[in-house]
Amino acid sequence: VASRETKPDATVVKVRDLVVGGGHIGVIAGPCSVESEEQIILAAKKVKEAGAKALRGGAYKPRTSPYAFQGMKEEGLKLLAAARDVTGLAVVTEVMTPHHVETVVKYADVLQVGARNMQNYHLLQAVGETRTPVLLKRGLSSTMEEFLLAAEYILDQGNQQVMLCERGIRTFETHTRFTLPLASVPYLKQKTHLPVVIDPSHGTGIASLVPPMCRAAVACGADGLIVEVHPDPKEAISDASQTISPEVFAEALVECRRVAHAL
């Protein structure tokens, strides 16, 4: 169902002012985690000012250590909805288990399926049963075929609003947190009609590499970006080292617009 052969025209995911695909580059930005009302509202205002059309923020966090901050859960979802009320931005947030889908859809405009859950087939089916757009992240060690078959689980339930997100993979390389293969963009776009979003934050793990990889993503034809931005990056509770400030983010988008209009 995801194949270009079954549907030659590009799928365009639209929710509120976020448009991803069909020549539109949709920008999603915000902190890794929702931390407080003040933090998420300020982040929302700042990323909107810079040009983002959707706010990201994790309320249920898949953390490597069970002792690390696990997210604000439903309280965090309420704060995301409050930030949407203030700014009008669409809300993108992760759902980690089929049991939470019913709760998360009440607040989210886009359901994020995280890399660690890319092959959680019951979760894929559960988000597929909704009619809320889904951002499906590539598994840490998944092949393109596995990625596409995961998307297929969602499409098969009748939810056609699926975005594929390349967020980097595990390799032998350690200079970056993950290795971000940008060839995924043209490859997936040749193979499928689904829009492709790049996550340069998890893809590199290093804040200074995020703006150049935003530009590179736009240059190779990405339909969207999802970027970790925090009002005070060094104070971010999760993923501080890959998080950029609203000012750096705003400048990165200016540079992306230059790339998009280059030549």
Rg (CA), the chain: 17
Nearer to ligand PEP, 62 or 158 (CB): 62
* Structure token pair of residue 178: 């993950």
Q: How far apart are CA 163 and CA 127, in angstroms?
A: 13
Q: How far apart are CA 61 and CA 115, in angstroms?
A: 12
**Site map (CB under 6 A) of ligand PEP, residues 121-150, x = contact:** ----------------x-------------
Residue number with the smallest Cβ distance to ligand PEP = 114
Indicate which of ligand PEP, Mn ion, none lies near residue 79 (CB less than 5 to 8 Å, by partner kind).
none
Q: Is 230 in the site for ligand PEP (CB under 6 A)?
A: no
Nearer to ligand PEP, 26 or 58 (CB): 58
Which residues make up the interface to Mn ion (CB under 5 A)?
32, 239
DSSP label of 229 = B
DSSP label of 31 = -
Nearer to Mn ion, 32 or 207 (CB): 32
Minimum CB–partner distance for residue 178 and ligand PEP (Å): 8
Indicate which of Mn ion, ligand PEP, none lies near residue 115 (CB less than 5 to 8 Å, by partner kind).
ligand PEP
Q: DSSP letters of 104-151?
A: HHHH-SEEEEPGGGTT-HHHHHHHHHS-S-EEEEPPTT--HHHHHHHH
Q: Which residues bind ligand PEP (CB under 6 A)?
A: 32, 58, 62, 114-116, 137, 167, 202
